[in-house]
Amino acid sequence: MKDKNAMLAAMKKEIANRHPCKMHTLHTSGRACYFGGGTPSVLSIDELADLLYTVKQYYTLSEDAEITIEANPDDLTDNYLEGLRYLGFNRLSIGVQSFFDHDLQWMNRSHSAQQAVKSIEMAHLHGFHNINIDLIYGLPAMTLARWEANLTQALAMNVPHISAYHLVIEERSVFGRRQRRGETFNVSEDESLAQFNSLLDAMEKADYEHYEISNFARHGFRSRHNTAHWQLQPYIGIGPGAHSFDGKSRQWNINNNSKYIAAIENAGTWFERETLTPREQYNEYVLVSLRAVWGADINHIRTHFGAHFANYFLQHGEAYLKNGYMNEKSGVFTLSRKGKMAADRIVSDLFKV
């Protein structure tokens, strides 16, 4: 990483600047601390120790706090895993993406399928039992058979949490640039739905809870960090591009390394902030709650956003109840299996514009 020392110094200064001379509790209860949103495993154990020490200077973590680090498979050597355990990291999120070299090469991943398997095996040996692996489906040329083989391999690794995401082509990503150069990444809706269906079947058969559209966990292994986000609990993000939320407003840091460092070093403003309107708060609640197993509670909508929003939700959700895309029990609305396959459309229809 270019200017890594300057970046680490800026991040430590931001931690101090956010709440100077005062102890605060992270995530209110101090039960989750997450190193991610990039590739923190490029940092050495000493650098991670320095950052974690700074966090603990200003925030109180509970004794059973879930401390997660995202890592690439090729970064997880024996010595690195031993160092992570020594520092107190107790959860790994490993960016496997696929157990096929063809897919990994197409995605420009630096690791091989063999390294992916080896990294998970070593993590188990070093005492990491709370492990997530990321998988991607909807890739060009990924057949249903190869996706199902990916799932079989993932389940064989005995990890308690699996995140599976459909490939999304973002304009500023490497895939977006490749698409502008003429490459096509078209995957039919039927292919996508078939792969999503096979994902649901495999996870259900293996007794994983489908607790969010893209996330599956065995009992007791939901991600605390992600769950805090999806339940709209307050959180603090540190570093370039990081987001924070206090329940009513959002803050996001400069998404440029050199500008972020300069702003911190020169006591400038390194973030922007917006206060969410009642409409935006309602839309956000609908978005995150309907994607999750706990669903959208009409009484919560009525109490927190008003009768107008509750009536709007009921009016626009009625058709989805009748056609079986949504279920309702005691005023809580959840997506059915076929509703999950149309989640984006349903949520969009329930947004107040």
- CATH at residue 294: 1.10.10.920
Same domain, 89 and 146: yes
Residue 20 falls inside a structural domain: no
Residue 343 falls inside a structural domain: yes
Same domain, 180 and 44: yes
Same domain, 183 and 323: no
Tell me which residue range forms the domain holding 167: 27-230
Across all residues in the chain, what is the average pLDDT? 92
Same domain, 219 and 296: no
Same domain, 171 and 44: yes
Among 137-141, 278-282, 296-300, the range scoring the smallest mean pLDDT is: 137-141
Same domain, 165 and 86: yes
CA distances to 18, 45, 67, 92, 326 from 85, in Å: 28, 10, 10, 10, 43
The values of phi and psi at residue 273, to 5°, are -140, 145
Among 64-68, 176-180, 219-223, 253-257, the range scoring the smallest mean pLDDT is: 176-180
Residue 146 falls inside a structural domain: yes
Q: Which residue has the higher pLDDT, 19 or 123?
A: 123
Q: What is the CA radius of gyration of the chain?
A: 21
Lookup: tokens for 334? 């959840």
Residue 238 falls inside a structural domain: no
Q: Average pLDDT in the 326-342 region?
A: 97
Same domain, 122 and 53: yes
Same domain, 200 and 51: yes
In this prediction, residue 5 carries a pLDDT of 94
Domain edge (last residue) among 195, 230, 265:
230
Domain edge (last residue) among 230, 246, 267:
230
DSSP label of 297: E
In this prediction, residue 177 carries a pLDDT of 73
d(CA 73, CA 230): 27
Residue 225 falls inside a structural domain: yes
Domain edge (last residue) among 172, 197, 230:
230
Q: Which residue has the higher pLDDT, 141 or 149?
A: 149
d(CA 274, CA 277): 9
In this prediction, residue 22 carries a pLDDT of 42
Cβ(295)–Cβ(326) under 8 Å?
Answer: no
pLDDT of 35 strictly over 80: yes
d(CA 136, CA 139): 7
Q: Average pLDDT in the 83-108 region?
A: 96
Residue 305 falls inside a structural domain: yes
Q: Say which amino acid occupies 159.
A: V
d(CA 139, CA 156): 22
pLDDT of 57 strictly over 80: yes
Closest to 157 (Cα-Cα) out of 214, 32, 86, 73: 73
pLDDT of 335 strictly over 90: yes
Closest to 139 (Cα-Cα) out of 191, 181, 176: 191
Same domain, 211 and 95: yes
Angle between helix 343-350 and helix 307-322 axes, rounded to 10 deg:
140
Same domain, 188 and 317: no
Same domain, 83 and 171: yes
Same domain, 286 and 193: no
Q: Average pLDDT in the 94-106 region?
A: 96
Cβ(2)–Cβ(257) under 8 Å?
Answer: yes
Residue 239 falls inside a structural domain: no
CATH value at residue 164: 3.30.750.200
Name the domain count of the chain: 2
In this prediction, residue 60 carries a pLDDT of 87
pLDDT of 86 strictly over 80: yes
Residue 256 falls inside a structural domain: no
For 193-252, the pLDDT digits (tens) are 999 999 999 999 999 999 999 999 999 999 999 999 999 999 999 999 999 999 899 999
Q: Average pLDDT in the 163-177 region?
A: 78
